[in-house]
Amino acid sequence: MPRSKPSIFARHDTFFGVCEAIGEDFRFNANWLRLAIAVGLLVSPVFTLAAYVGLGLVVLVSRRFFPSHATAEEAAPALPNAPLKGDNDEDRIELATAA
């Protein structure tokens, strides 16, 4: 039975899920954005928190009005012990054994 992916906002390991959502949307590691926000908090906390809240609103609106649909790989994951068959793989042929 496939596991359902919880909402980014409902996960226990994120703070509103802003960095994770942006990382998923733009396909990069969210830890880089978290690092940039941590440095920004040291330099200018008010501006960084305002930018984080603004990005959170953008993520909320984009996820609410433009939900992503699961791709074929996410909808039907491969079986763990199923052999992979490539384009150049042929059916197995029994070969004669040597004496």
Do residues 36 and 49 make contact, with C-beta atoms less than 8 angstroms apart? no
**23 contacts 30 by C-beta, under 8 angstroms:** yes
Residues 6+ positions from 74 with CB-CB distance below 8 Å:
5
Residue 94 within any structural domain of the chain: no
Domain assignment present for residue 48? The answer is: yes
The pLDDT assigned to 42 comes to: 96
Give the chain's domain count. Answer: 1
pLDDT values of the chain reduced to their tens digit, one per residue, 99 residues? 556 666 655 665 567 788 888 888 888 898 999 999 999 999 999 999 999 999 999 888 888 888 776 544 455 555 555 555 655 566 666 777 876
- Is 72 contained in some domain? no
- Is 84 inside any structural domain? no
Instruction: Give the Cα separation of 8 and 30 in Å (integer).
Output: 13
**Is 50 domain-assigned?**
yes
Q: Is the pTM of this model over 0.85?
A: no
**59 occurs within a structural domain:** yes
Within-domain flag for 95: no
| Domain enclosing residue 36, as ranges | 16-66
Nearest-angstrom CA–CA distance, 81 and 91: 18
